[in-house]
Chains A and B, each alone.
Chain A
Amino acid sequence: MSAAPILEVRDLRKYFPVRNLWKRRIGWLRALDDVSFTVQPGEILGIVGESGCGKSTLGKTLMGIHTATAGEVMFQGQDIARLRPHESRGLRQHLQYCYQDPGASLDPRWTIRASLHEPLIVHTALKEPEREARVREILAAVGLPETHLDLYPHEISGGQQRRVGLARILTLKPSVVILDEPTSGLDVSVQAVILKLFLSLQEQFGLTYLFVSHDLSVVRMICDRVAVMYLGRVVEIGETSRIFATPRHPYTQSLLAAIPRIGGARVTDTFSLEGEPPSPTNLPSGCRFRTRCPRAQALCAQQDPALRADWPGQAAACHFAE
């Protein structure tokens, strides 16, 4: 892990204004608050957390879909956080974003071939035969026959549309792909097939993934490292095996304890965490988890804990984590 990081995020903030009926700002929704981490080339970093924790905002802010409020995102030696949306277009070749269902973004009136050529026309100066060769190569990589090039999206199945959507992202040969909840809404039998496809594409094209998901069992299977988010903060980050074996932050511990484990003790007999996350527009003082934390003490209300890298390959933001 000594190589230069491909992506480095430093104190990234994204605040959304909360406005009243008269459009006057009455507060901030702190979707991302001082988020920092690095991503090594070729790794899969999982970003997990419950809804509203800021994981999707993180992906979109890295991509330039949202402009960051503060902080730096270093990608290929350049700070891309403050780029205006049109300036970040040039980066899209190297940094791609994959929505939950990439097949849904296909134009129903274009053939698969037209959809796959489009990004190359926009971003590269390749001639038609070169584009065609690249398109065929990518199509084979996602496991679709070339005969599909002349079909329209409605003529192929949902799973195949998803593969075309993925192919479209890969035609520009990106180095980093942000996958936003790529398996939610999929049945388990299909999910395993899609995950295998992600892994084989990663190997084939040397990709780095940011894998945003709420499904911890999937993250455990395919990610090298995991960042756990809670209300706009990274509360724990580290190697997947360590996080799952010895979670340090009480929130990570509860999150892992909440996953049903077939054959094991039933969560309904053992689970003890109460309450739900507070509203991100009205955060508690100090540590954000203290309102639900079984170990909260007076210090937690006064001081917001910073990430402590006190364990090998693992860091947690908690005053009392051991």
Chain B
Amino acid sequence: MDGDLIAVQDLRVSFASDAGIARVLDGVQCAIRPGEIRGLVGESGCGKTTLARAILGILPPNAARIDSGRVTFGGRNLLDLPEARLAAEVRGREIAYIPQDPSTAFNPVFTIGTQIADLMRWKSPLARTANPPTGRARREADHARVVAMLRQVQLPNPEALLRKYPHEVSGGQRQRLMIAMALLPEPKLVIADEPTTALDVTVQAQILKLLKGLAREHNVAVLFTTHDLGAAYEICDRITVMYAGQEVEEAPVAEFFNRPSHPYTRKLLDSLPSAETGLRGIPGEIPRLIDPPPGCRFNPRCERASAVCLAQRPPPEQAGPGHVVRCHHRLTDAEA
């Protein structure tokens, strides 16, 4: 669609393993608008991290293969772009990344200041201006930007912090630094891969609040992958659900939680521990992606499944404004 910041079309990715070829992404469609916070939710093994990595072009080169698809961003197909251009123009510049575990993302033998200065040397927005300052003037201008950004992510005493080593700061502070480093190059899209999973619940609330506020302030789109529906509810505008390498439903956040149309989404919401519904899981297990079920991959665990579900993956259908679902037997409003 016109006006999309990034559009993933019919993306298929497979991984080679000892047991065979795992079809990890099976024709995924996903488009994100400028400034939107998009949740990408699903259980482990559903392909949400693979999708994030495919967009960034950091799939493991020896194991992963992109079989088909397009990732359109800024008028080009990122999958066709040579690695050198991807690294110079896109990754860490227009599309930034916030990792799941901030403790392994830093190099332990350099100070935080050194590592951020290194980032600014290559990815500073100043380098993109018409007449960039050079030498000391450039370093001082970048340093001022860094300090201002650390204040924005509410890190106390930025100058002292820059002289510290990564192990000297707490997990929450490291994640704040990661957010600062992602935003410093002024990207258009930030991919946050389970950014709060490694954090405690009180720190998670702080980080989510910060991420949401900064994304709005800088008008940057966020692709927020998570398995935690509560965290997705907190910050997302729209949510895409994936199951076993296929996206099954996409809806605005209120619609997603109040009126889910896909049976898997409904069951996922019912699995959340709550006093009203009690304990309800989903019988069965996630399929092995080496020999996935044909058609809709949810069919072995779905009580609505019929012959057509095994024959063919359901096409995307409109279930409401901005609400797309891929199911042959989607829930009616009364059932949702």
Contact = CB atoms under 8 A, between A and B. Distances in A.
A274 B206 CA distance: 8
A190 interface: yes
Interface string A197-237: 00100000000000000101110111000000000000000
B86 interface: no
Interface stretch (B109-117, B269-277, B311-319): B269-277
A159 B282 CA distance: 13
A320 B281 CA distance: 41
Contacts of A193: 281-283
Contacts of A257: 205
Interface in B267-291: 267-269, 271-275, 278-283, 285-286
Nearest to A194: B281
B217 interface: no
B230 A259 contact: yes
Interface in A109-127: none
A192 B280 contact: yes
Contact of A192 (B173, B273, B275, B286): B273
Interface in B148-207: 170-173, 200-206
Interface in A261-279: 261-263, 266-269, 271, 273-274, 276
Nearest to B46: A187
Given A188-B43, A218-B273, A267-B234, A255 B285 contact: no
B227 interface: yes
B119 interface: no
B233 A190 contact: no
Most buried by B among A199, A266, A274: A266
A258 interface: yes
Contacts of A255: 201-202
A188 B201 contact: no
Nearest to B203: A276
A190 B44 CA distance: 11
Nearest to B284: A189
Contacts of A194: 281
A260 interface: yes
A270 to B, nearest CB: 9
B208 interface: yes
A273 B279 CA distance: 30
Contacts of A271: 202, 205-206, 209
Nearest to B278: A221
Nearest to B154: A274
A302 B42 CA distance: 48
A268 B275 contact: no
B106 interface: no
Contact of A189 (B203, B212, B235, B268): B268
Given A187-B44, A188-B43, A188-B268, A260 B273 contact: no
Contacts of A218: 273
A254 interface: yes
Nearest to B209: A268
A188 B278 CA distance: 13
A260 B206 contact: no
Interface in A283-306: none
A157 interface: yes
A266 B234 contact: yes
Nearest to A158: B285
A248 B17 CA distance: 53
A276 B207 CA distance: 12
A162 B302 CA distance: 24
A191 B170 contact: no
B235 A268 contact: yes
A50 interface: yes
Given A192-B280, A271-B209, A276-B172, A262 B272 contact: yes
A76 interface: no
B73 interface: no
A188 B203 CA distance: 21
Given A187-B43, A188-B268, A192-B271, A50 B201 contact: yes
Q: Please name the 4 residue pairs, one residue from A and one from B, whose CB atoms are nearest each other, closest first.
A: A260-B230, A192-B281, A193-B281, A189-B282
Interface of A: 50-51, 157, 159, 187-196, 199, 214, 216-218, 220-222, 254-255, 257-263, 266-269, 271, 273-274, 276
Given A267-B205, A268-B212, A271-B206, 14 more contacts: A159-B285, A187-B227, A187-B286, A188-B229, A190-B43, A192-B282, A196-B279, A217-B272, A221-B274, A258-B202, A263-B233, A271-B202, A276-B172, A276-B202
Interface of B: 43-44, 170-173, 200-206, 208-209, 212-213, 227-231, 233-235, 257-258, 267-269, 271-275, 278-283, 285-286
